[in-house]
Amino acid sequence: MTLHPVLPGWIMLPLIAAVVLFLGGQITRARRRDAARDPGAVRDWLFRGILVLLVLGAALRPGIPGGSTDAATADVNVFFVVDTTSSIAAEDYGDSLPRLQGVRQDVRAIAAELAGARFSLITFDTNAAVRMPLTTDTSALDTLVTVLEPQVAAYSKGSSVTVAAKLLGERLRAARENNPERPRVVFYFGDGEQTSGKAPAPMRVDTGLVSGGAVLGYGTAGGGRMKENTGPGPDHGAGYIPDRRGGTGQDALSVMDEGQLRQIAGDLGVPYVHRSAGDATAPMLQEANPGTLRRGEGDGNFEGRMELYWILAAGAFVLALRETVLVLRQLRELRPPVQSAPVDQARTSTRPRPAKPSPPGRDRRPAQGALK
């Protein structure tokens, strides 16, 4: 059995300990004070304790290995790291298409194969940037990929193929802290061409952060010319990037560096796959199989995990209904009865009584002359 708590362990363990101590104290107090006067008090506190423990147990999300989930509902975090330097516009993909065209097609194909996963898009040229945080919104991903363009040539000052390493590591660590049960898959798209003038730093991330993925390479050994990106606005007059180093006035060529791409794949612990126009996506995904998602036999499903938290949640729901009935009953007993006196009697008791007349001959004083 495995546990995937909804809160970190350093929060769950003290919370469970505090609840157990509180419930134990309440049950002991009820047994000493109310056992003779109200035998049901101890029983009620026992049921409340079981209710709270069931809720906490469900929050731990227990489960056992078993079942299967299709690749179309993969529960993974997928990070796309895309090279947007000027070299990604080199026209040596398929029938003289830019390499970026192949990147767009492969990102969409991977997202379609792993529908249900959460996707993040990171691009890099001179600097690295998160274009889209983790989300299941594939329409947003498709829109971003559609409008993705190489870096404006005027801003290009040389780039490193591993400049995104630090940012990628930060995003992977954040994903592991938020959802440790979700595998983290990295797909790196690039041509391996280093233009910063310095050797690239290793593309290393912390051990265990990358569950699977692949480094996908685009381009040819012969290279290709690169259309110049002049920025927003019409670019019909934009030509190819000239070769400023040779001084020949010819167009610059971008040549992919497969050796560098293999080195990046080794740093990430994932396979390297060269991509050409028309290559299928399924074989590449099989080669880039995430480490914690093993394919089942025959049907292409992933081994899953059977959740058991719902059993505890159902028991807690039943006990919560019992507690609700008890609370309503107590509220009804606390309501004072309403008593009202009859109207006629109230009026009679408040009305003043008239004085009785004295009988004749009584209380009369004698005349002054009668006593003489």
pLDDT at 19: 86
Residue 61: pLDDT band by 50, 70, 90 thresholds? confident
Q: Which of 173, 198, 194, 211 is nearest to 264 (CA)?
A: 194
Q: What angle do CA 265, 268, 272 make, to 5 degrees?
A: 20
Which residues are CB-neighbours of 76 under 8 A, at least 6 positions away? 114, 117, 118, 182, 183, 184, 185, 211, 290, 293
How far, in Å, CA of 188 to CA of 332, rounded?
66
CB 223 within 8 A of CB 281: no
How far, in Å, CA of 188 to CA of 150, rounded?
16
Q: What is the dihedral of CA 291, 297, 300, 306, to 10 degrees?
A: -70
pLDDT at 284: 85
Q: Which of 133, 120, 209 is nearest to 173 (CA)?
A: 209
> Rg of the chain's alpha carbons, rounded to an integer?
40
Residue 276: pLDDT band by 50, 70, 90 thresholds? very high
Q: How many C-beta neighbours within 10 Å does residue 10 have?
A: 8
The pair of structure tokens assigned to 230 is: 């002049």
| DSSP structure class, residue 136 | S
Question: CB-based burial of residue 85 (10 Å sphere; 0-12 exposed, 13-18 middle, 19+ buried)?
Answer: buried
How far, in Å, CA of 97 to CA of 75, rounded?
34
Residue 322: pLDDT band by 50, 70, 90 thresholds? confident
pLDDT at 71: 44
CB 159 within 8 A of CB 85: yes
Length, in residues, of the chain: 372
Number of H helices, E strands in the chain: 9, 11
How far, in Å, CA of 55 to CA of 49, rounded?
10
CB 295 within 8 A of CB 68: no
Q: How many C-beta neighbours within 10 Å does residue 147 have?
A: 8
pLDDT over threshold 80, residue 145: yes
CB 310 within 8 A of CB 57: no
Residue 72: pLDDT band by 50, 70, 90 thresholds? very low
pLDDT digits (tens, 9 = 90+) for 288-317: 765 444 343 444 454 455 778 889 889 888
Which residue has 């997928």 as its token pair? 78
pLDDT over threshold 90, residue 209: yes
Question: Does the domain at residues 71-300 carry the CATH identifier 3.40.50.410?
Answer: yes
Ordered by start, the domain boundaries in the chain are: 2-68+308-334, 71-300
Mean pLDDT score across all residues of the chain: 81
Residue 206: pLDDT band by 50, 70, 90 thresholds? confident
| Residue 251 backbone phi and psi in degrees, to 5 | -75, 145
pLDDT digits (tens, 9 = 90+) for 151-180: 887 776 778 999 999 999 999 999 999 999
End-to-end alpha-carbon separation of the chain, Å? 125
Which residues are CB-neighbours of 235 under 8 A, at least 6 positions away? 229
Residue at 363: amino acid letter: D
pLDDT digits (tens, 9 = 90+) for 78-113: 999 999 999 999 999 988 899 999 999 999 999 998
Residue 213: enclosing H or E segment and its boundaries? strand 212-217
pLDDT digits (tens, 9 = 90+) for 331-361: 887 766 655 555 555 455 555 565 555 555 5
pLDDT at 363: 52
More confident position, 111 or 75: 111
pLDDT digits (tens, 9 = 90+) for 214-263: 999 999 989 999 988 877 665 555 688 888 766 667 888 999 999 999 99
Q: Which residue spans within 288-369 are E strands per DSSP?
A: 302-307
